[in-house]
Amino acid sequence: ITSPSYIAKVSGASVMCVSHLRMPHGGYRVVFSPVQVEFGADKQKDTEVWNRYIENTIREQPDQYLWLHKRFKTRPKGAGNVY
């Protein structure tokens, strides 16, 4: 996901990752990462940081991830359907 890096670069905004997890007896736990220093300077590094945060969040509670979301809507010509 490169959008956060692009937005940080063009706006100069600070960036932090945020996730929320459903609690067993109702409500949510909202988790804020530290502000990502120098986010927007290196798109490759920023994307790795962002994806790592998403991956760690999913690994923490995989049952809460939206597995039905078809992220890979387009495929290379000749590639099989991943869904």
Task: Name the CA radius of gyration of the chain, rounded.
Answer: 16
**Dist CA 66 CA 41 (whole Å):** 30
Judge whether 49 lies within some domain.
yes
What's the sign of the alpha-carbon dihedral 59, 65, 68, 69? negative
For the whole model, what pTM was predicted? 0.68
CA distance 60 to 66: 14
- Structural domain of residue 11, as residue ranges? 3-64
> Does residue 25 lie within any of the structural domains?
yes
pLDDT at position 55 = 92
Whether 35 is in a domain gets the answer yes
Write the pLDDT tens digit of every residue in 64-79.
887 777 777 778 888 8
Number of domains the chain contains: 1
- 36 and 17 Cβ atoms separated by less than 8 Å: yes
In-domain check, residue 37: yes
Residue 73 located in a structural domain:
no
Question: Which residue ranges in the chain fall short of pLDDT 70?
Answer: none
Q: Quick one: pLDDT at residue 63?
A: 86
